[in-house]
Every structure is written in structure tokens, then in C-alpha cells.
């Protein structure tokens, strides 16, 4: 099945929106769990979340765009930009999953 990457960059000064919406966002990810290869936040130099990246296994680009559009972070207006791109895994044996909580 094809792989896709969702890259989302937070709007500056919206950490409060991220924190407030995080439980719904994690629930959304749990519901997508079967197709998530890996996911996590981008961080600034001080460790503060400032964006998100997800690698998704899906049938087509439209399916992944719908997943991104229905993310509670997107709906809450957290993101300045969201990009969905096809991606091809070349190097690496796998990633150890971390807890979403």
C-alpha cells in the first residue's frame, strides 16, 4: 500500500490551541491507528511543539487529505500550513512506536 507524509506547521502563538485540542487530536489518531506508520510533533529548540508529521499508509492521496482535513488540530485552526505528499520508504528497518499519551 502506498505511503504518504502529512507535514503540518503550527501558526505562531497557538500553543494554547494545541494543548486544548490535544485530547481530541489523539482520539483522531487512535481511530486512524491501523494506517499510521509513525507520527509526532516537530519541536522548537526549547522542545515546544510547533508542528506535526505523520507517515500514513493509505490507498490514495485523497484519503490522506481527508484524514488531514478532519484532524481536530486542523479544524481548530492550529495549522498555518498542511502539506500531504506521496512518500517512498528507502532506508531504515522500522521505528519503535511511542505512546500517544
**CATH number for the domain that contains residue 27:** 3.30.70.1060
Sheet order of strands, 3-10 included: 36-43, 49-57, 3-10, 79-87
Number of domains in the chain: 1
CA distances for 77 relative to 34, 54, 98, angstroms: 26, 18, 26
Range of the domain at 76: 3-87
pLDDT in tens, 60-85: 999 999 999 999 999 999 999 999 99
For residue 95, being part of any structural domain is answered with no
For residue 43, being part of any structural domain is answered with yes
Rounded CA-CA distance 44/18 in Å is 14
CA distances for 75 relative to 2, 65, 93, angstroms: 26, 13, 34
For residue 40, being part of any structural domain is answered with yes
Cell triple for 50: 510547533
pLDDT in tens, 9-62: 999 999 999 999 999 999 999 998 789 999 999 999 999 999 999 999 999 999
Amino acid at each position: 500500500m502506498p505511503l504518504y507524509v502529512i507535514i503540518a506547521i503550527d501558526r505562531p502563538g497557538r500553543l494554547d490551541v494545541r494543548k486544548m485540542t490535544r485530547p481530541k487530536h489523539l482520539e483522531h489518531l487512535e481511530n486512524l491507528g491501523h494506517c499510521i506508520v509513525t507520527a509526532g510533533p516537530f519541536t522548537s529548540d526549547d522542545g515546544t511543539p510547533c508542528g506535526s508529521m505523520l507517515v500514513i499508509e493509505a490507498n490514495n492521496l485523497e484519503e490522506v487529505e481527508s484524514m488531514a482535513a478532519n484532524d481536530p488540530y486542523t479544524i481548530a485552526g492550529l495549522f498555518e500550513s498542511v502539506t500531504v505528499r506521496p512518500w517512498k520508504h528507502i532506508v531504515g528497518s522500522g521505528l519503535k512506536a511511542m505512546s500517544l499519551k
